[in-house]
Amino acid sequence: MRADRLVAVLLLMQAKGRVTAAELATELEVSVATARRDLEALSAAGIPVYQQPGRHGGWQLVGGARTDLSGLTASEAQALFLLAGPAAASSDEVKAALRKLMRALPETYRTEAQAAAASTIIDPSRWGENTRDRPDEVQQLQQAVVRRRQIRFRYKDVRREADPWGLIDKDGVWYLIAGTARGRRTFRVDRIAGLEVTAGSFERPDDFTLDEAWDEVVGAMEERRSRTWATVVIPERFVWVLRDHFGRHCHPGEPLGDGRVRVRVGAPEARDIARTLSGWGSTVEVLEPSTVRRELARIGAELTTLYVQPGTPPPHR
Of 207, 213, 147, 211, nearest to 178 by C-alpha is: 213
Residue 293 pLDDT: 95
**Read out DSSP for 57-107?**
-EEEETT---SSSTT--HHHHHHHHHHHGGGGGG-HHHHHHHHHHHHHS-H
Residue 171 identity: D
User: Omega into 135 within 30° of 0, i.e. cis?
Assistant: no
Residue 23 pLDDT: 86
Residue 52 has pLDDT above 90, yes or no: no
Contact 23, 36 (CB under 8 A): no
When mean pLDDT is compared across 1-5, 190-194, 286-290, the lowest value belongs to: 1-5
Question: How many whole angstroms separate alpha carbon 92 and alpha carbon 98?
Answer: 10
Average of per-residue pLDDT across 59-76: 56
Please name the residue ranges forming H helices in 105-178.
107-117, 137-147
Average of per-residue pLDDT across 5-28: 76
Residue 275 pLDDT: 92
Domains contained in the chain, CATH given: 2-118 (1.10.10.10), 123-212 (2.30.30), 226-307 (3.30.70)
Residues 85-143 have pLDDT tens digits of 555 555 555 555 555 565 555 555 455 555 555 555 545 555 545 555 667 788 788 88
Residue 1 pLDDT: 41
Strand runs labelled E in 181-281: 183-188, 192-201, 228-235, 250-255, 260-267
Contact 174, 186 (CB under 8 A): no
Residue 38 pLDDT: 80
Residue 194 pLDDT: 95
Q: How far is CA 88 from CA 29, 168, 228, in A?
A: 20, 14, 35
Label residue 73 by pLDDT band (50, 70, 90).
low
Contact 220, 275 (CB under 8 A): no
Residue 65 pLDDT: 37
Rg of the chain, C-alpha, whole Å: 26
Question: How many whole angstroms separate alpha carbon 187 and alpha carbon 182?
Answer: 14
Residue 67 pLDDT: 40
Residue 66 pLDDT: 46
Residue 291 has pLDDT above 90, yes or no: yes
Average of per-residue pLDDT across 78-89: 56
Angle (deg, nearest 10), helices 32-44 and 74-84: 130
